Amino acid sequence: MLRRIIPILFLLSIINAQIALPTFQAVHKPNAIASSSGTPENPLQSTGISEVGSYTWSYLLGYRFTPQVNGTITQLGGYYNGTYTVYLWRWSDENFLGSVSHASNSSWSYTDLGSSVDVSSGTEYFIAVAFTGCCGSYIDYGSNRLPNTYGNITINYSVYKSGNFNSTTMPSSFSSATRTDRSWGMPDITFIPD
C-alpha cells in the first residue's frame, strides 16, 4: 500500500496540489459559571388575552404555575394601575422566595427582584399581588380553561384570598385556589429558562 501512496504524493507535489485535512473546531463553555441563558418569558402576558376592567379589590390575587424546565425568575410585575407588592412563594412548602413593590400604569411592566430566584422543573410556585383598593384587572380564558402552557411555564390555577394582605408568610387558606376560568389581579413573572 505504501508503494501506491508514495507515487501519488510525489505527483501531487509536482503539480503543487493541496490536500485538505479535516479540522475540528469547538467552543469551550466553562461549567463553573451558572447562569440562565434562554429567552425571557412572561407567561401571563404571553396569553395574548385582553384584560377586563378596572376593579377595586382588597384581595391577594395571583396564579399557581409550574416551570417545564429549570430556570430563573428575575422580575415580578403585572398589569394593573397603581403601586402594589407582588409576592413569590413555592406552593408545596409555602416558602417565601421574594417580593417587589411594583408600579404599573394599566400596562405590562416588571421590576427586578433584589436577587434572582432559581426555580425547578416540575415544582409548583405561586405569584400574587396584594391589592388594597383600586385598580385591578383580570383575564377570562373562555373555553380555553387552565391549566395552559405558555412558553416553558404552565399556569395551573388562579388563586385569590379576600381581605388586606401585607406579609411574606403565604396564607394557609384561600377563598379559591383552583379557579380555571380567569386570572385575577394579573401579576406576572419574568422567567429565563436554563
CB 128 within 8 A of CB 91: no
**Considering the domain boundaries, does residue 49 fall inside one?**
yes
Calculate mean pLDDT across residues 14-29.
43
Strand 125-130 to strand 81-90: parallel, antiparallel, or no bridges (unpaired)?
A: antiparallel
- Looking at residue 55, its pLDDT comes to 84
- Position 24 in a domain: no
The answer to whether residue 175 is domain-embedded is yes
Q: What is the pLDDT of residues 58-109, one digit of tens each?
A: 999 999 999 999 999 999 999 999 999 999 999 999 999 999 999 999 999 9
Nearest to 150 by CA among 159, 142, 141: 141
Distance from the Cα of residue 179 to its chain's centroid? 21
Angle at the Cα of 123 from the Cα atoms of 122 and 126, rounded to 5 degrees: 130
Q: Does 112 reside within a domain?
A: yes
Counting every residue written for the chain, the total comes to: 194
Assigned domain for 170 exists: yes
Instruction: Give dist(CA 31, CA 29) in Å, integer.
Output: 6
pLDDT score of 45 more than 50: yes
- In this structure, what CATH number is given to the domain that contains residue 143? 2.60.120.820
Per-residue cell: 70 = 429549570
Residue 75 belongs to a domain: yes
SS3 label, residue 83:
strand
Question: Would residue 19 count as lying in a domain?
Answer: no
User: pTM of the entire structure?
Assistant: 0.81
Query: Residue 56: which domain range?
Result: 45-193
Mean pLDDT of 29-55: 75
Q: How many domains does the chain have?
A: 1
Say whether 106 sits in a helix, a strand or coil.
coil
The CA-based angle 100-102-103, given to 5 degrees, is 170
Is residue 185 assigned to a domain?
Answer: yes
In sequence order, the β-bridge partners of residue 159 are 62
